[in-house]
Amino acid sequence: MVLQDLGRRLTAAISSVSGHSALDEQASLALDAVLKSVSAALLESDVNVALVKRTRDRVKKQVLPQLEELQAKSTSANQDHDPLAGNKAKQLIHKAMQPVKGKSQVIMMVGLQGAGKTTTCTKLATHYQRRGLKVALVCADTFRAGAFDQLKQNATRAKVPFFGSYTETDPVSISLQGVQKFRAERFDVIIVDTSGRHRQETELFHEMEQIQDAVEPDMTVLVLDGAIGQAAEAQSRAFKEASNFGAIIVTKLDGHAKGGGAISAVAATSTPIIFLGVGEHLHDLEKFSPRPFVSKLLGMGDMQGLVERAQEMALADPARQENMMKKLEKGEFTVRDLKDQLQTVMNMGPLSNLTSMIPGMSDMLGGAGGEGEAARRMKRVAFIFDSMTTAELDSDGSMFRDDPKDKKAIEARDKDKKGKGKEVAAKSKGKENVSPAAGDSSDGDSDEADEAGGGDVDPLGGREPNARVLRVARGSGTSVQEVEELLSQHLMFAKMAKRMGGKNGMMSKLAARGGP
Ligand code: GDP
């Protein structure tokens, strides 16, 4: 995939720059190579040509003096990979998108038909409803037959009150009636869904202006299809002129959509993205932050998004949340917790969305492209957990990093190494202590484990694998490398849990902050 490819290209290119101890001509050439690589990948991801050029010049202007400074300090680079989205956009997010109780705030949604407006209206309503606000929807799309039915259906599913009409044909009148009704009923958030199609663009824009004049929204939001690519710039400019929207929601970023178009829209209209649509379901809405977005674009993961998604899930199961919070407050994170979290992740929605949020996860899944491939690999991870004992699952994982003491297992592995030939491998079948989860694949995969441990490329760096790791790899029919990778993921999470724990930890701060 282009974006994941970009991550790899970038990493390789950055290594080539950081390999230079002095900012010599070679380093400068290497920097050019990085920028060329990044520019090419951004263009392939539908980012606008002029924007790529501007960004390239800006990065160059920013990076060169920084490199000189770094060189002087002899420290490693701590690059801000946020040159595209910018901090200004973050600060611009309007207060209206963080509604409060007791003050009826009107949010008007605009965008072309099919962009995902109606779906996003309900997602947004659910988002605010979950935060304890009283939310209602108004359907002002009288143009598309069935628009009201669709909103009605979505709203009913989400248990959100709605207003619309089968007979009234004037969208201005409907939206005004709806907003007035819900204002009188003291709703906190009133979301107005408008039409996205007209025979003439000018008609559509004129209608939008009239609705805006009538309902005086606190915020107008442009809903932009993430898959429109280069067209994003012109479309967002046109809507900006007509409706002066104050925020953008980019939809359909769950599929193969290239997020680059969204960046062009932000740049063209100087308007921040506030949410991303990442699926067709009610909860498939992610709060937007420039840094994780760019991180994800570059295949670097999005921990913040993951924490937020996990919190959303936790809201649905308070007992489980309380349990997890208690553990995190103490800074604890056992192997079983990772197992549970991955199980939760699997219940959280399309796997491909989520794996890209976890740093290193897509690499762990071998950059698994399709949903099926990711699921297949996730199953292997489940086999690994299934091959662990209760004590191992409830441990902090350190027993997997102890020196290999279990002589039996080491002997078994050495025996395996000697018998790498097929006939010897066949003989050893049945003698090993293999759990039923491994099934018939144990032979083939123990070869794989051997390759990982003793082949040309040695991921363990010549280190003896821990006996438990070895046993789990065998039992699960996976390789030592896969088990080690999973355990290093656990170690990373456990370290994070430690940092989050305690009174001043991130958990207490997150809990205190609440969110929009
Ligand atoms: P509208 O014409 O702008 O109101 O668009 P709709 O809300 O009717 O959406 C058009 C189609 O896009 C529908 O089939 C939605 O299910 C789908 N859709 C909307 N948002 C998303 C999203 O974030 N991801 C995916 N995969 N589909 C979406």
Average pLDDT over residues 433-447: 36
Q: Which atom of ligand 1 is nearest to the CA of 197?
A: 2
Listed range (64-73, 268-277, 305-314) with the worst mean pLDDT: 64-73
Q: Give the pLDDT score at 84.
A: 34
Q: Give the pLDDT score at 502.
A: 59
More confident residue, 80 or 40: 40
Average pLDDT over residues 339-343: 77
Q: Which atom of ligand 1 is nearest to the CA of 119?
A: 7
Q: Give the pLDDT score at 23.
A: 44
Query: Which residue of 109, 112, 118, 119 sits with most ligand 1 atoms within 8 Å of its CB, as the best mutation to test the pocket?
Result: 119
Q: H-type helices in 107-230, by residue range?
A: 117-129, 147-158, 171-184, 201-215
Token digits for 281? 């379901």
List, chain by chain if needed, residues with CB within 6 Å of any ligand 1 atom.
Answer: 111, 113-119, 196, 251-252, 254-255, 277-280, 284
Q: Give the pLDDT score at 350.
A: 55
ipTM over 0.90: yes
Q: How far is the CA of 142 from the centre of ligand 1 (A)?
A: 18
Q: Give the pLDDT score at 423.
A: 42
Q: Which residue's CA is the nearest one to ligand 1's atom 12?
A: 116
More confident residue, 321 or 330: 330
Q: Give the pLDDT score at 100.
A: 80
Residues 119, 133: Cα–Cα separation, whole Å: 19
Q: How far is the CA of 117 from the centre of ligand 1 (A)?
A: 7
Q: Give the pLDDT score at 322.
A: 74
What's this model's pTM, rounded to 2 decimal places?
Answer: 0.53
CB of 147 within 8 A of CB of 141? yes
Listed range (114-118, 309-313, 316-320, 365-369) with the worst mean pLDDT: 365-369
Residues 135, 106: Cα–Cα separation, whole Å: 10
DSSP 122-149: HHHHHHHHTTT--EEEEE---SSTTHHH
Q: Which atom of ligand 1 is nearest to the CA of 144?
A: 2
Listed range (34-43, 144-153, 433-442, 453-462) with the worst mean pLDDT: 433-442
Q: Which atom of ligand 1 is nearest to the CA of 147?
A: 4
pLDDT of 434 strictly over 70: no
CB of 483 within 8 A of CB of 380? no
Q: How far is the CA of 157 from the centre of ligand 1 (A)?
A: 16
Closest CA to 287 of 113, 97, 507: 97
Q: Which residue's CA is the nearest one to ligand 1's atom 16?
A: 280
**Structural domains in the chain plus CATH codes:** 2-79 (1.20.120.140), 90-300 (3.40.50.300), 301-516 (1.10.260.30)
Q: Which of 304-313, 431-440, 483-492 is modeled with the greatest confidence? A: 483-492
The one-letter code for the residue type at 427 is K
Q: Give the pLDDT score at 138.
A: 95
Token digits for 305? 């998004």
Q: How far is the CA of 116 from the centre of ligand 1 (A)?
A: 4
Q: Which of 186-195, 332-341, 479-488 is modeled with the greatest confidence? A: 186-195
Q: Give the model confidence (pLDDT) of 45-54 as tens digits.
A: 667 777 777 7
Token digits for 56? 């390239």
Q: How far is the CA of 23 from the centre of ligand 1 (A)?
A: 49
Q: Give the pLDDT score at 226.
A: 86
Listed range (315-329, 340-354, 499-513) with the worst mean pLDDT: 499-513
Phi, psi of 224 (to 5 degrees): -120, 130
Q: How far is the CA of 262 from the centre of ligand 1 (A)?
A: 16
- For the chain, what's the residue count? 516
Average pLDDT, the chain: 72
Q: How far is the CA of 114 from the centre of ligand 1 (A)?
A: 6
Residues 371, 388: Cα–Cα separation, whole Å: 26
Q: How far is the CA of 193 from the centre of ligand 1 (A)?
A: 13
Phi, psi of 162 (to 5 degrees): -140, 165
pLDDT of 450 strictly over 50: no
pLDDT of 71 strictly over 60: no
